[in-house]
Structure 1
Amino acid sequence: MKYDTVYIVAGIAILSIGTYLIRYSGIYLANRIAFKEHHRQMLSDSACVLLFTLAIFNTIFTENEFSGISKIIGVSVAILFAWKRYSLIVVILVAIVVTATLRYLGFS
């Protein structure tokens, strides 16, 4: 194994052990700690904000570069269809078709 590979394997092992301990602590502490409803709502809201932020950044950027206007328009159309309560498969297919069509037409 190369020197870099050892670091990668060690990093994977540390992250997997940490993930297991976090999950175990949730099960272990579930009956020992009582949260107020306000704090439960705040934790739920913070998880939604984190996922929303991740979705926004993945829409706008691809690796280190701007992903292009076609992807942003495709995601915006998908959000509109989801807001109108279309099924998930329709939302995904519409986003794919809109993004692919715009890229075919020359929008980056």
Structure 2
Amino acid sequence: MTGWAVAVLAGGTYLIRLSGLVLRRSLVIPARVSRLLDLGAVALLVAVAATGALIEGVGFAGWARPAGVALGALAAWRRLPLVVVVLLAAGGTAGLRALGIP
């Protein structure tokens, strides 16, 4: 049963992606709708990032994780390499937790 479900979902995903290529030239999306779709994608990404940074289980994740994320965001804003951004965020969080800040 699981194999069939995976095959159906894979086929559906393929058809959805193919429909974007097929309908690209025949479907005209107004500029305002296109802008709203872009903003919706950004809002969704921010919501997922905020949830991951602030929530653990059903409660607040503590202060170390949001501080590490903020440090990583600052490093990204300064256009540091991705490896440095990740290491600063993880190191900041680990350092705060080592100091006893949850």
Cα deviation digits, residues 42-89 of structure 1 (max 9, x gap): 211111111111111111112334222100100011111211222221
Tell me what 2:10 maps to.
16
| Consecutive unaligned residues in structure 1, runs of 5 or more | 1-5
Unpaired runs of at least 5, structure 2: none
Of the three residues 83, 86, 89, the one matched with 1:89 is 83
- Structure 2-normalised TM-score? 0.83
Percentage of matched positions with identical amino acids: 34
**1:27 equivalent in structure 2:** 21
Q: Does residue 98 of structure 1 match 2:99?
A: no
Q: Distance in 2 between matches of 1:10 and 1:66?
A: 39
Letter in 1 for 2:26: R
Please name the residue that 1:3 is paired with.
none
Q: How many residues align?
A: 102
Give the RMSD, CA atoms, in angstroms: 2.0
1:61-76 pair list within 5 angstroms: 61-76=55-70
Compute the TM-score of the two structures, normalised by the length of structure 1: 0.79
Q: Which residue of 2 aligns with 1:78?
A: 72
Determine the structure 2 residue equivalent to 1:47: 41
Q: Distance in 2 between matches of 1:51 and 1:12?
A: 26
